[in-house]
Structure 1
């Protein structure tokens, strides 16, 4: 078993999964970085997974396929994001994917984009731009905050808390101050921010937290918690909170306007 990630652009991540000779790249937005990651581990990926269609995640796929010998390399993704890319294999309606020896669970999670999905493999949860450390994806580029709310309150709420969260970007240092503005007394969020800042200062990658640990610090996973309910009501007093979906939408709007 092999699992690794590598940063590209400023804060994107490409991931590599492998079982024996079968290897998968997840979101190779930069072909040079993705190919170097595979080469450093001595594997030749035959599969590409996309968590969603935005170009910073899908933009390297054509070059990766050409370098590895298309059409031998298959690209998987959700057709809901066909406005941005066309997968070879549609994952809509699929619960699992068998990519050679690599077996991946698929969880639809629309909201950031119509075709956003989560992939779970051997205790790792690859969340793309749906769930970040300390936050969630914005909905400004083809997204819908109400659908994102339903993905958080439905799909994400049902997943095993032991899963490690591996997002498409490292936004933790930007997200956690917002979490602390809402819950100044959240010691876990404060400790996580200190950990992330220390890693960045040392030139290292922040360690992944589990979904259970995220549920203790991430306001978008805590929308029903009394502290978050009170914080949102205080900052958006004119909103009508029929349910947690409406509260989540208000919370996402607050994050959009937040200045640390």
Structure 2
């Protein structure tokens, strides 16, 4: 089994999954970087998965297919994001994908875009722009914060806490100050920020977090806690905060305006 990631653009990640002779690229927004990642491991991907359709994640697929042999490479994604790309295989309504020797779980999580999905494989959770380290995706480009709230409070809340979170961007150092502004006494968030900054200082990528850790750190997974409820009441007076879904939407609006 093989699992690796590589940074492209400023903070995007492309992922490579492989078992035996079968390999999968996830979100190859930069074809050159994605192909180099596969070549460095000596594998030839036959499958491309997209967590959503935004061009910084899906824009390299055509070049990847051309380089690897278009008829042999299948591109998977959700039809809800047809405004941005057209997958060969629609994952809507699917819970599992059989990709050669790989079995990949699928979870539909609309909100950042209508067709956003999570993929799970061997304890790894590939979250695209839906769930970030210490944050969540914005809804400015075809998204809906109310639908994102439903995804967080429903399917994401039900996931196993032991899953490793592997997002589509490294926004940890930007997101954690917001988490600490809401919860200054959150020792887990402070420790995570120190670990992220230490990795950056060493020229390394931040270590992946487990979903259980995100539930201790990430305010969007903590909207029902007294600390976040109190922080929202103080920072969003007059907002509709009757339930967790309303609190999530208010929190997303606060994050949109936040400056460290």
Match of 2:144 in 1: 144
Q: Provide the secondary structure at the position in 2 that maps to 1:86.
A: coil
Residue 165 (1) aligns with residue 147 (2)? no
CA distance in 1, matches of 2:205, 2:10: 12
* Structure 1: runs of 5+ lacking an equivalent: none
CA distance in 2, matches of 1:17, 1:82: 25
Match of 2:202 in 1: 202
The Cα shift of 1:108 comes to 0.2
Match of 1:30 in 2: 30
When the two structures are aligned, how many residues end up with a matched partner?
Answer: 260
The Cα shift of 1:222 comes to 0.3
The Cα shift of 1:82 comes to 0.1
Equivalent positions of 1:106-117 (< 5 A) are 106-117=106-117
Q: Provide the secondary structure at the position in 2 that maps to 1:29.
A: coil
Match of 2:102 in 1: 102
Q: Provide the secondary structure at the position in 1 that maps to 2:70.
A: coil
Match of 1:55 in 2: 55
Cα deviations across residues 12-40 of structure 1 (Å, max 9, x unaligned)?
00000000000000000000000000000
Equivalent positions of 1:70-219 (< 5 A) are 70-219=70-219
CA distance in 1, matches of 2:240, 2:32: 48
The Cα shift of 1:241 comes to 1.4
- Give structure 1 regions of 4+ aligned residues with deviation exceeding 2 angstroms: none
The Cα shift of 1:200 comes to 0.7
TM-score (norm 1): 1.00
CA distance in 1, matches of 2:197, 2:143: 30
The Cα shift of 1:240 comes to 1.7
Question: RMSD over aligned Cα, in angstroms?
Answer: 0.4
CA distance in 1, matches of 2:199, 2:187: 18
Cα deviations across residues 164-199 of structure 1 (Å, max 9, x unaligned)?
000000000000000000000000000000100111
Match of 2:18 in 1: 18
The Cα shift of 1:242 comes to 2.4
CA distance in 2, matches of 1:143, 1:6: 26
* Structure 2: runs of 5+ lacking an equivalent: none
Q: Provide the secondary structure at the position in 2 that maps to 1:84.
A: coil
Match of 1:246 in 2: 246
CA distance in 1, matches of 2:221, 2:200: 25
TM-score (norm 2): 1.00
